[in-house]
Every structure is written in C-alpha cells, then in structure tokens.
Amino acid sequence: MLGKEKLALADNTIVAQCVVKDCVRTFKSVTNIPITKDVIRASRRTYVEYCVHLDEQQRQQAAELQRRAELEKQQEHSRQLQKQKASLMEQLAEKDQEEREQKREDNTDKELINEATNTMVAAVELKNMQSVKVAHMMLKAGNITETGDDWY
C-alpha cells in the first residue's frame, strides 16, 4: 500500500525505489552491493537525464512566464484601448450635445429675426415709426446675437 508521500511520486520513481530495495535485500546490505563500471555509467547517464529533465522544466517555466507576461501586456493594452474608446465616445456625446444646443440657439435667433422682420414690415405698412424703431432694435439685437458681437 502506498503512503501519502508516495502518491506524489511518478511511476518510474516508484519502480526505481523497488529496484533499489530488491537489490539491497539481495545483497543483504548497501555496503555489499558491487559497484561496477556498468553501475557507474548507468548512474551518470541517469544523472545527465535528470539534469536535462530539470533544464527542460526550467525552459517550460520560463516560456510559461513569458506567455503570461505577453498575455498581461495584451490585456493592459486592451484596457487602455477601452479607456480611450470610452473617452472618445464621451467627447463625441459632448460635441453632439453642444451642436444640438447651438442649433436651438440658432433657431431661436432666426425666430427673433423673423418676428422682428414681420414687425418691421407691418410697422412700415402702417407707417408707425415707433413700431419701426422697436422692430429695428429687435433686428439689431438678433444680428448681434447671431454674429456674437457686443453692442453698446
């Protein structure tokens, strides 16, 4: 039966432990195991394979870290673009609102000018100089508002 610490080991590690234990049982002691050139070569080859395995793990971890960093950089860039888009949409909405307000003001000015013109025409037809002066002042005020000039 496997203990908790052995559950985390790979299959080949468990097999290797079994081989070592069988060898120790066969020779009755660790000091009785003959160390031949084949054993030394095998242990060196195993050590090299282990080093290659560790190196590959490090490369994989470095690649994963780089992939995560690139992904985070892309996400940050995406967030920045979203912020810029929101800002531009807000500016566009403000400009639209300003244009609507300007059109309302222009329409009001045109209505005042039309009213003053109609008043002027009616006053001239009736030969009412007082009404002509009032209509003249209304037209003058409407033109000043339309051009943005100050009048005194």
pLDDT at residue 151, rounded to an integer: 44
pLDDT at residue 7, rounded to an integer: 62
Task: Give ∠ CA 69-72-59 in degrees, rounded to 5.
Answer: 20
pLDDT at residue 136, rounded to an integer: 79
Instruction: Give me the tens of pLDDT residue by residue for the chain, a chain 152 residues long.
Output: 456 555 666 787 888 888 889 988 998 888 888 889 998 998 899 899 989 999 999 999 999 999 999 999 999 999 999 999 999 999 999 999 999 999 998 888 888 888 888 888 888 888 888 888 887 787 777 665 555 554 43
Nearest to 27 by CA among 39, 9, 43, 41: 39
Reading phi first (left if > 0) and then psi (alpha if -120 to 50, else beta), residue 35 is in beta
pLDDT at residue 4, rounded to an integer: 58
pLDDT at residue 40, rounded to an integer: 92
